[in-house]
Amino acid sequence: MVPAGQTPPGALGLYVAGAGGTISRAGAIASLERGKVENALLGGKPGGNVEVDLVEGRATGQPAVYVQLPPPGTHPNTKRYLVSVDAPGYTGILTSGSTRIDGLVTLPDITQAAVALARGRTTDIRAVAGSRADLTRLDERLSRVHHVRGWTFTVVVLTLLVLALVQARAGVLFGAAAVTVALWLEWTGTTRFWEVLLLMSLAPAAIACLVSLRLRWIPYAVAAFFTGFLLVLALRPETHSLAVLGARPDGGGRFYGIGNHVETLLLPALLAAVVLGGLRWLLPLGGLALVTVAWSKAGADGGGLIVYAAALAVVLLRLDPARVTWRRAALAAAGVIALVFALVGIDAALGGASHVTHAVGGGPGSLSGDFGHRLHISWASATRSAVNIFLFLASLALLVWIGTRRPRRVAVDAMLVALAVSLLVNDTPVEVIGLGALGCLALLRFEPVDSRPMRRGAVLTAVCAAAVLALAACGSEGVTTATPNTVVGTVKQEAPGKAIFTTQGCGACHTYAPAGPDAKGTIGPDLDKLPQYAQQAKQPLKPFVTKSIVNPEAYVQPGYPHNVMPKSYGSLSASDLKDLVDFLTTPQG
């Protein structure tokens, strides 16, 4: 320990004196002595065995590690402190694999280095070329990012909310666009407060709107994003770490890779792309996303691996023509667990190292301990203040409302399951449920129809909902009583299937002349051409129509997107289904 005001000898670096919003001198000392960091939400002072003793002064004639400590008392976690390693070969500035940022190391790194030097072993801390001026510039970058990060997050949330209500297609892509712009701002060195806020609101929205102009662009755009993001995380991790939507190294928690907020922001775009592309996109795009999130040399996000695997499993279940059962759901859950362990094992076998590989390598006890610790932090975070409690409950209420909407959407169901998993395995519940609720809202309002005018705002949404209700009411007007006048001629009995067609809202998506002038939808195929479609599918007309209603993904007419028609029509009664098929296949003259 170096006396205040003195510069320690050897290779210099910076360290964050704790994890969370506040730090204390006592907490920093306890962490340095034990080589562990405890979140400020849980007191900031870890327990366990003491590994090293802190002694004030300089060592003479032997390798040593020097640290500057925070002042006595508790302080906001906004300042970095000096650390140095005075040993042969240590000149320049310090770095380590725990941060992947030249000039910055972690508290456990410092303890490990002190123990290793005392025993003549290799330390995890390395020295690279650099000077005290480089540390000053790094410290200034961390301070500027810390200053603008909270406001940026607020702007991102508000912009996402607006897009979810007004331009849902762009809303599902906004998270990926925001991360892209954040990386660009860090790469160009843009740090001015108002410039960052303006660009982080307008630029991602513009990019998302542009990409969403054509539905078929979305899977390709999302695949291009994850490819580029993977390369940045693997080759230039510092770019993402120091970005305004990055890993938040200034807080002492995560120093590189993907955090819970970015993980949640990116999920709607992934789900929309896979659902639009269908099963042929599930393996390549899902695999790319899993590698980006979970690979220890990229995202290093074990919680994200579980969350994304669960979401993709739901998509696989829902896109499969077979009906979802409890047995299939249980098999899918088992498959997710097996996939997670397999990917973590492969990562570790290839030399990868992260908190995930360490937890899994420690066995069931290590895993359960890590899980319990995260739940403890989550509870402390969610109940830290009245504002957090309100935000959590409000977001939960929105998710419950979304979960009760019909018809069910594949991407929405996958997002809901993913958020439930994320709340269990991650430790920032307010961020996860808040961003997740907005992403879920965008997916709920997302219209998977190419070249169709987008809905414009909540008012128009209400008008459209009223129109749908009115349309449904047209088929349930009740029985009309005839007047006691003499009627000459015959009265044709209306086909019972027409009422089913109308009350189910089929005319909102399909054109079918016998259903009347209200059946002019262009979302799905023109049902006046059903005989032609059956010939293309090489199937008899009535079995073809029946199967298309019960299992709409069995045959999708070329030129129309997959996974648009709900699968809920398979629950129609046998008589209603027969009447509807007769109405669609029997000439109405």
10-residue averages of pLDDT along the chain (589 residues): 62 93 92 90 86 78 88 91 92 93 94 90 92 93 90 94 93 96 94 92 95 90 97 95 92 89 96 90 94 92 91 88 77 83 75 63 66 82 92 95 88 95 92 95 74 38 38 37 40 65 76 81 84 88 88 83 75 82 77
**Distance of alpha carbon 289 from alpha carbon 230, whole angstroms:** 9
d(CA 568, CA 577): 12
Q: Are residues 153 and 76 in the same domain?
A: no
Burial readout 266-280 (b: 16 or more C-beta within 10 A, e: otherwise) = bbbbbbbbbbbbbee
**What integer pLDDT is reported at residue 488 of this predicted model?**
43
Can you tell me the distance from the alpha carbon of 446 to that of 170, in angstroms, rounded to the nearest whole number?
A: 9
Same domain, 417 and 466: no
| End position of a domain, from candidates 80, 101, 130 | 130
Return d(Cα 110, Cα 440) in angstroms, integer: 42
Angle subtended at Cα 160 by Cα 235 and Cα 378, rounded to the nearest 5 degrees: 70
- Would 251 be classed as within a structural domain? yes
Q: Are residues 234 and 314 in the same domain?
A: yes
State residue 270's pLDDT score: 97
The H-or-E segment that residue 127 falls in is: strand 125-128
pLDDT of residue 6: 59
- Of residues 173, 259, 295, the one with CA closest to residue 223: 173
Does residue 488 fall inside a structural domain? no
| Residue 112 and residue 173 in one domain | no
Domain that holds residue 474: 459-478+494-585
Cα–Cα separations (whole angstroms), residue 363 to 206, 309, 414, 488: 47, 21, 29, 87
Q: Is residue 486 part of a domain?
A: no
Domain boundary (69, 101, 130) is at 130
**Same domain (yes/no): 228, 79:** no
Query: Are 569 and 556 found together in one domain?
Result: yes
**For position 584, what pLDDT does the model report?**
85
Same domain, 395 and 434: yes
In this structure, the answer to whether residues 433 and 468 fall within a common structural domain is no
Looking at residue 522, its pLDDT comes to 76
So what's the pLDDT on residue 527?
A: 87
Distance CA 25, CA 23 (A): 7
Are 466 and 341 found together in one domain? no
Q: What is the pLDDT of residue 361?
A: 61
Is 53 part of a structural domain of the chain? yes
Q: What is the pLDDT of residue 423?
A: 94
The answer to whether residue 450 is domain-embedded is: no
Residues 272/173, Cβ–Cβ less than 8 Å: yes
In a domain, 484, yes or no: no
